[in-house]
């Protein structure tokens, strides 16, 4: 379980002051939680963010009852990549979560070994799932793709027992496309067009040449 110690934001304390003191301004909120401004140790938050992303429960401690949350949104400095702000969504106990979960493609498709192209059309699916079974990612087995035309649809992805698929079941996740080499177009040489005028000229020259030989 991932946890973070949080503190209530001091009134009138600026975000810049917090950051200079090694903290990150943040907020948590939820269906039954009023938006509450907090601060979190910058190094600990960065570490948890790298591990959790947006699909792993993070428990906030330090302000009354522990709160199971998801990191809902983050802001980073455009130049140095420093984490500037984070939003935490507090989960309701006993309620399922509607969330988009990233897909992780596993294995090598036999079709790819045969020289064909694997098209990965979908990189996440939306599911509704119990908080206790929230997956960090969902695996997609590419070894099922053997021949051109084979494909994997969203309803073939293995979900946790409590989960139901929200994404269209028939949406294609990955498929096989035939590899075709592009042939180079060879531009034909321009044809020589012989006109009757040229034939006549050629005949005249030949005749003149013949007459000259007879005179000699």
Tokens (6 digits) for 103: 């897909």
Q: Is the pLDDT of residue 175 over 60?
A: yes
Asked if the model's pLDDT at residue 22 lies above 60, the reply is yes
pLDDT of residue 123: 96
The mean pLDDT of 185-197, rounded to a whole number, is 59
Q: How large is the average pLDDT for residues 32-51? A: 93
* Cβ pair 7, 62 in contact under 8 A: yes
The per-residue pLDDT for 54 is 86
Question: Can you give the pLDDT at residue 13?
Answer: 84
111-115, 155-159, 179-183: which range is least confident on average?
Answer: 179-183
Closest CA to 69 of 161, 162, 3, 165: 3
Whether residue 197 has pLDDT greater than 80: no
Closest CA to 45 of 27, 65, 64: 27
Q: What is the reported pLDDT for 10?
A: 85
DSSP string, 99-128: EEEEEEEES--HHHHTT-EEEE--SEEEEE
pTM of the model: 0.71
Do the beta carbons of residue 19 and residue 39 sit within 8 Å?
A: no
Residue 129's pLDDT is what?
A: 95
Position 192 pLDDT exceeds 90 = no
Average pLDDT over residues 10-35: 91
Q: What does 80-99 look like in DSSP terms, one character per residue?
A: T--EEEEEEEEPPTT-EEEE
Q: What is the mean pLDDT of residues 140-145?
A: 96
Sketch the domain layout of the chain as residue ranges: 2-91, 97-177
Confidence of residue 203 (pLDDT cuts 50, 70, 90): low
Question: Quick one: tokens of 83?
Answer: 């984490």
Architecture of domain 97-177: Beta Complex (2.170)
- Residue 193: per-residue pLDDT: 55
Tell me the pLDDT band of 12, cut-offs 50, 70 and 90: confident
Mean of all residue pLDDT scores within the chain: 87
pLDDT > 70? residue 206: no
CATH superfamily, region 2-91: Ribosomal Protein L25; Chain P (2.40.240.10)
Is residue 84 within 8 Å of residue 29, measured between CB atoms? Answer: no
Q: What is the pLDDT of residues 90-124, one digit of tens each?
A: 999 889 999 999 999 999 999 999 999 999 999 99
Q: Please state, in angstroms and rounded to a whole number, the distance separating the CA atoms of residues 52 and 71.
A: 8
């Amino acid at each position: 379980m991932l946890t973070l110690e949080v503190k209530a934001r001091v009134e009138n304390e600026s975000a810049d002051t917090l950051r200079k003191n090694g903290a990150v301004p943040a907020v948590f909120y939820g269906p039954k939680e009023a938006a509450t401004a907090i601060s979190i140790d910058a190094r600990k938050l960065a570490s948890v963010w790298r591990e959790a992303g947006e699909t792993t429960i993070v428990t906030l401690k330090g302000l009354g009852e522990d709160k199971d949350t998801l990191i809902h949104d983050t802001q980073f400095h455009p130049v140095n990549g420093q984490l500037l702000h984070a939003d935490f969504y507090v989960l309701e106990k006993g309620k399922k979560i509607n969330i988009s979960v990233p897909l992780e493609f596993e294995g090598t498709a036999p079709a790819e070994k045969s020289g064909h192209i694997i098209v990965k059309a979908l990189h996440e699916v939306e599911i509704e799932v119990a908080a206790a079974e929230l997956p960090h990612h969902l695996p997609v087995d590419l070894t099922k793709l053997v021949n051109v035309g084979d494909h994997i649809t969203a309803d073939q992805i293995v979900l946790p027992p409590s989960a139901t698929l929200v994404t269209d079941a028939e949406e294609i996740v990955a498929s096989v496309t035939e590899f075709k080499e592009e042939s180079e177009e060879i531009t034909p040489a321009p044809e020589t067009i012989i006109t009757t005028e040229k034939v006549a000229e050629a005949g005249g020259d030949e005749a003149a040449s013949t007459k000259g030989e007879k005179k000699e």
